Chains A and B, each alone.
Chain A
Amino acid sequence: MKLFFYLLLLISPLCSAQKTVSGKVTDKKGNALPGANVFLKGTYDGTTTDANGSFSFQTSETDTATLAATYVGYEAFEKKIGIKDNATDLSVKVEELANELNTVVITAGAFEASDEKRMAMLKPLDIVTTAGAAADITGAMQFLPGAQRVGEQEGLFVRGGSGQETKVVIDGMIVQNPFFSSLPDVQSRGRFNPFMFKGTSFSTGGYSAQYGQALSSVLLLNTTDKVSNNGLGISLNLANAGLNYDYATKNQSISAVAYYGNLKPLFSLVKQNVDWLQEPEFKGSSLTYRLRPTKNGVLKVYGMYSASDLSMNSRAPASDSGQMKLDLENKNSFVTSTYTDSWKDGRWSLNSGFSYSRNNDNTTLDGFNFDRFDERTQGRVVLSRLLSGNNTILFGAEAHAIRLKNGVAGKLYNLKDRYTAAFIESEIYITRELAGRIGLRAEYSSILRDVNLAPRLSFAYKTGKYSQVSLAAGQFYQNPDYKYLYTNKNLDYERADHLILNYQIIKNQRTFRAEAFYKNYAQLVREFTGQKFDADPYRFPWGRTNNGGEGYARGFDFFWRDQKTIKNFDYWITYSFVDSERLFQQFQESTTPTFISNHNISLIAKKWFQKITTNVSMTYAFTSGRPYYNPNNEQFLGDKTAPVHNVNIQASKLQNVLGNLVIFYASVDNILNTKNVFTYRYTPDGKTRYAVGPQSYRSFFVGMQIMLSKKAKVSKDDI
Chain B
Amino acid sequence: MKKTIFTALAFVLSMCMVLAQNEKYTQAMTTNIQALNGLDKEKPDAKALQDIANRFERIAAAEPKEWLPKYYAAHCNVILGFVGASLEEKDKYLEKAGALLKDAEAIAGKPNDEILVMQAFHSQIHLAADAANRWEADGAKFAEYITSAKKVNAENPRIYYLEGSSVFFTPEEFGGGKKPAKTFLEKASQKFAAFKPETSIHPDWGKAETEWMLAQTNQ
Contacts and interface: CB of A to CB of B under 8 A. Distances in A.
B132 A44 contact: no
Contact of A716 (B61, B77, B132): B132
B27 to A, nearest CB: 10
B139 A713 contact: yes
Nearest to A10: B13
DSSP class of B's interface residues: helix, strand, loop or mixed?
A: helix
Nearest to B174: A713
Interface of B: 5-6, 9-10, 13, 24, 28, 47, 50-51, 53-55, 57-59, 61-62, 77, 86, 88, 92-93, 95-96, 131-137, 139-140, 170-176
20 contacts: A3-B6, A7-B9, A7-B13, A42-B61, A43-B58, A45-B58, A68-B61, A72-B77, A73-B92, A227-B140, A228-B140, A508-B86, A655-B173, A656-B174, A713-B135, A713-B176, A715-B132, A715-B136, A716-B132, A718-B135
Contacts of A715: 131-132, 135-136, 174
Contact of A39 (B6, B61, B139, B140): B61
Given A115-B137, A613-B173, A654-B174, A3 B5 contact: yes
Contacts of B134: 115
A199 interface: no
Given A227-B140, A661-B174, A37 B57 contact: yes
Contacts of A73: 92
A713 B50 contact: no
Given A654-B173, A717-B133, A70 B57 contact: yes
Given A3-B9, A713-B135, A715-B135, A46 B175 contact: no
B16 to A, nearest CB: 10
A72 B96 contact: yes
A73 B81 CA distance: 13
A656 B61 contact: no
Interface in A616-656: 654-656
5 nearest CB pairs, A to B: A37-B54, A715-B135, A48-B51, A35-B50, A39-B58
A104 to B, nearest CB: 17
A34 to B, nearest CB: 8
A3 B51 CA distance: 43
B175 A656 contact: yes
B50 to A, nearest CB: 4
A233 to B, nearest CB: 14
A72 B99 CA distance: 11
A90 interface: no
Contact of A43 (B62, B77, B171): B62
Contacts of B170: 713
Contacts of B136: 115, 226, 228, 715
Contacts of A714: 135, 174
Nearest to A656: B173
Contacts of B137: 115, 226
Contacts of B140: 226-228
Interface string A32-63: 00011101011111111000000000000000
Given A35-B50, A713-B139, A115 B133 contact: yes
Contacts of A6: 6, 9
A712 interface: yes
A3 to B, nearest CB: 7
Nearest to B16: A11
A605 to B, nearest CB: 17
A79 interface: no
A495 B132 CA distance: 42
A175 interface: no
A659 interface: yes
A710 interface: yes
Given A656-B175, A713-B175, 17 more contacts: A3-B5, A35-B47, A35-B50, A37-B57, A41-B62, A43-B62, A44-B24, A48-B55, A70-B57, A72-B96, A125-B133, A508-B86, A654-B174, A661-B173, A712-B174, A713-B139, A716-B171
A636 to B, nearest CB: 50
Given A3-B6, A228-B140, A714-B174, A72 B58 contact: no
A652 to B, nearest CB: 12
A186 interface: no
A325 interface: no
A97 B7 CA distance: 50
A611 to B, nearest CB: 11
Interface in A197-242: 226-228
A3 B172 CA distance: 75
A44 B136 CA distance: 41
A394 interface: no
A47 B96 CA distance: 19
A44 B66 CA distance: 14
A280 B121 CA distance: 50
Contact of B62 (A11, A42, A47): A42
A39 B60 CA distance: 12
Nearest to B96: A72
A483 interface: no
B175 A661 contact: yes
A432 interface: no
Contacts of A115: 133-134, 136-137
A710 B175 contact: yes
Contacts of B131: 715
Contact of B58 (A46, A125, A713): A46
A39 B131 CA distance: 37
B175 A712 contact: yes
B62 to A, nearest CB: 5
Contacts of B28: 44
Contacts of B58: 37, 39, 43-46
Contacts of B55: 48
Contact of B50 (A48, A508, A656): A48
A137 B164 CA distance: 37
B154 to A, nearest CB: 18
B177 to A, nearest CB: 9
A661 B176 CA distance: 11
A123 interface: yes
Interface in A6-44: 6-7, 10-11, 35-37, 39, 41-44
Interface centre among A48, A125, A661 (most CB of B within 10 A): A48
Nearest to A508: B86
B217 to A, nearest CB: 17
A717 B59 CA distance: 43
Contacts of B61: 39, 41-42, 68
B77 to A, nearest CB: 8
A101 interface: yes
Among B55, B61, B88, B170, residue most surrounded by chain A Cβ atoms (within 10 Å): B61
Interface string A703-719: 00000001011111110
Contacts of A7: 9, 13
A653 to B, nearest CB: 9
Nearest to A34: B47
Nearest to A115: B133
B151 to A, nearest CB: 11
A203 to B, nearest CB: 23
A6 B5 CA distance: 12
Contacts of A101: 88
B175 A659 contact: yes
Nearest to A610: B171
B17 to A, nearest CB: 8
A57 B196 CA distance: 37
Contacts of A48: 50-51, 54-55
Contacts of A717: 132-133
A558 B175 CA distance: 41
Nearest to A660: B175
A179 B147 CA distance: 42
Contacts of B88: 101
